[in-house]
Structure 1
Amino acid sequence: MLIRFFLLKIVRNFSGMSKNVIPHSEVPDYEAAINALNNLQSNAHYIQNAGKGQVPDKIAQMIKFLNRAGLTLEDLDKLSVIHVTGTNGKGSTCAYSESILRHHGYKTGFFSSPHCIDVRERIRINGIPIPKPQFAKQFWNIYDKLNAQKENERDMPMYFHFLTLLAFHIFLEEQVDAAILEVGIGGEYDSTNIVRLDP
């Protein structure tokens, strides 16, 4: 019953938020950002390559991309992180943790996957998906830096890895009190694992 109430509350909050959607004409870079994001290498492609022994050190790659995007591991050390992994229940655990902290007055950042309707659901501040203008601004800030420094056409982070970088940038910019991170599909080498447990 509690889970049903929680989900209904999320749906109502999301529905209420959609009434204030900014018209596309006022956010010219958002759709282009989504198209560019969708053209990044997919997780499915990652899994295909993993079976062929073609997956390099993903943590080292993430650190490289983090630095190219203008952040360091020391920057990430400034975040107070709740990092949730496991087979089942990661999303629920993250959602409960975020809700408890937010209702106790803490400013929260929440990074999860996958999304149901809109990719912005994956990166939330105080339980609300980030606005389109903020998504577009931060997306192009990071994308342009990475694109300018790539050594070849494939030298860009994959879809999920890029969103991880985007979440870190937004959480630091927003100065969240707590960042709740849900591990993706990478297991030990998941992109969220660049967060250091003991800096």
Structure 2
Amino acid sequence: MTAVASARPPRRARHRRKLAPTNQLPTHLATYAEATLWLQEHYNLEQHLGGSAAEPPSLQRMHALMGMLGNPQREIPAIHVTGTNGKGSTSRMLVGLIAATGLDVGSYTSPHIDTVNDRIMIANQAIDDVSFTQALSEIAEVEPWVIEATGERPSYFEVMCAAAYNWFAASAVDVNVIEVGMGGKWDATNVIDAEVAVITNIGPDHMEIIGPTLTDVAEEKSGIISAQSHVINGETSEQLAEIIAGKQHRDIWHRHQHFDVLENRLAVGGRLVDFVTPFGRHEEVFLPVNGAYQAQNAATAVAAAEAFFGRQLDTAVISEAFHQLELPARFEIVQREPMIIIDGAHNPAAASVVAETLFEDFATNEPPVLVIGANKPRDPLEFFNALRGPQFSRVIATAADWPRAIPADELGQTLKNSGAQVEVSPTVPEAIDQAIQLAGDGGTILVAGSLYVASEARSQLLGTSR
């Protein structure tokens, strides 16, 4: 097992390809407002998932864009994270673990919870508006040549991903933690040969794009593995694990076989957990987050960090990293009277573990109130049943301000067919206000169904969005 982390590199000298003249003038972005408006002009797949117009998968534009920038993504060792659920939490944990050793860590994630800046972070802190504007401006400057080379404009996600890779290289971070947007093989992030490739799990999500079977999903997600990758596999299905292991790799660790959670106990304010990896045990590590399932994400993150360094991390370092852990919109308690919990769960598997945490770890005499929104093309009733919908005292169907949101009245009618007591509130802020009135000071409210609903709820209750 060879360590891949190294001493801090010098600040990168720019090696951008010398570009021939083009008929299109480069765009100069001078302000944050100009940068965000320019970004919104690009096609955003996140707004159109499940639609009829789907282009064939290709990394042509992304490779062209990165080539114009001098391929900055190749200059920094990377950990690439994919999986149906838990990849966002695992990525944030990984950043904290590596940062606790004294290294600077860049991370790219999607979608954003509060502001678009959140997609590009250093040490789990979003870059500021000035930095964001500069990062996008450098992409805007080379975009005409990408269009000339490929005949197409880069997408929203490609622009953001390229901006992140370019910014991290210019900032001379030591390590990149890169979260896949969707799938793996054809995801725009997949222009790196990651030293560590993490697959948290394989489940039935986005099947219309990366399915239709779990075997297809496993093939797609394992596309992030390269010959130099140490694979951390969290999927326990033997059939799917064989697909992952079948990709050419440097080394591979499997959950239950090489790394695992040994003890997972409820504690005040979180969990008390014991882990094991091929390097040894870590005992009584406190996780300041809710949900037994987060211990599995933490075990995956610890295994990935130790694979990256090629050695065991000191348990004190792990404890220090997790002491500062924050997971926005992951069973996040944002208010106490009434207790309001926000979770971005949006598929049945995620709904199931949220329900387990709510009804077992946070059980109360009075049933909670649910505020729920959902996006097309998902089946909201399947999600609702996994969330134990009929156990809520009242259900408020709502819709985020998002193109794929299922209209609140349509969602409400669907959920009424389940036998639940359902009310309809057209917007998330109105739904939150209504839920607070119904719950009273001593009640509990869960907000779930999509990250976009979670984002709007956090904006109202915490003032986080702009």
- Once the two structures are TM-superposed, the CA of residue 154 in structure 1 deviates from its matched residue by 6.6
> Could you say which structure has the higher strand fraction?
2
Query: Would the alpha carbon gap of residues 198 and 168 (structure 1) be closer, same or farther in structure 2, given more than 3 Å must change?
Result: farther
Residue number in structure 2 paired with 1:157: 154
Instruction: Judge conservation of contact 2:32–2:133 (CA < 8 Å) in 1.
Output: yes
Structure-to-structure mapping, 1:17-32, within 5 angstroms: 29-32=31-34
Decide whether aligned partners of structure 1 residues 46 and 156 sit closer, same or farther in structure 2, where only a CA change above 3 A counts.
farther
Change (3 A) 1:107 1:152: closer
Note the alpha carbon deviations across 1:46-67, whole angstroms, 9 max, x for none: 76432xxx32x52222101211
Q: C-alpha distance in 2, partners of 1:84/1:58?
A: 20
Code of the residue aligned with 1:109 in structure 2: it is G
The amino acid that maps onto 2:140 is Y
Secondary structure of the structure 2 residue equivalent to 1:168: helix
Per the normalisation by structure 1, the TM-score is 0.75
Residue of structure 2 in register with 1:128 after alignment:
125
Within 5 Å, give how 1:109-128 maps onto structure 2: 109-128=106-125
Q: 1:79: how far off?
A: 1.2
1:153–1:169: structure 2 CA closer, same or farther, 3 Å change rule? Answer: closer
The Cα offsets for residues 24-67 of structure 1, whole Å up to 9 and x where unpaired, read as xxx951111001101100114476432xxx32x52222101211
| Structure 1 residue ranges (4+ consecutive) displaced by more than 4 angstroms after TM superposition | none
Counterpart-to-counterpart distance in 1, 2:70 and 2:48:
27
Q: CA RMSD, aligned part only?
A: 2.3
Correspondence for 1:87? 84
Which segments of 5 or more consecutive residues in structure 2 lack a partner in the other structure?
1-28, 194-225, 229-466
Distance 1:152 1:64, change over 3 A: closer
Question: What residue identity is the alignment partner of 1:169?
Answer: N
Aligned equivalents of 1:146 and 1:183: distance in 2? 23
Which structure's relative contact order is higher, taking Cα pairs within 8 Å and 6+ residues apart?
1
The 1:40–1:47 alpha-carbon spacing in structure 2 relative to 1, beyond 3 Å, is farther
1:42-191 to 2 correspondences below 5 Å? 42-43=44-45, 44-45=47-48, 48=51, 49-50=53-54, 54-55=55-56, 57-68=57-68, 70-72=69-71, 75-151=72-148, 155-191=152-188
Change (3 A) 1:40 1:110: same
Sequence identity percentage: 28
One-letter code of the match for 2:43? Q
Q: Could you state the TM-score of these two structures normalised by the residue count of structure 2?
A: 0.34
Q: CA deviation at 1:76?
A: 2.4
Over alpha carbons, which structure has the higher Rg? 2
- Cα 1:176–1:67 change in 2 (3 A) is same
Amino acid at match of 1:62: M
Q: What number of residue pairs does the alignment pair up? A: 166
Residues 116 and 146 (structure 1), Cα distance of their counterparts in 2 relative to 1, 3 Å cut: same
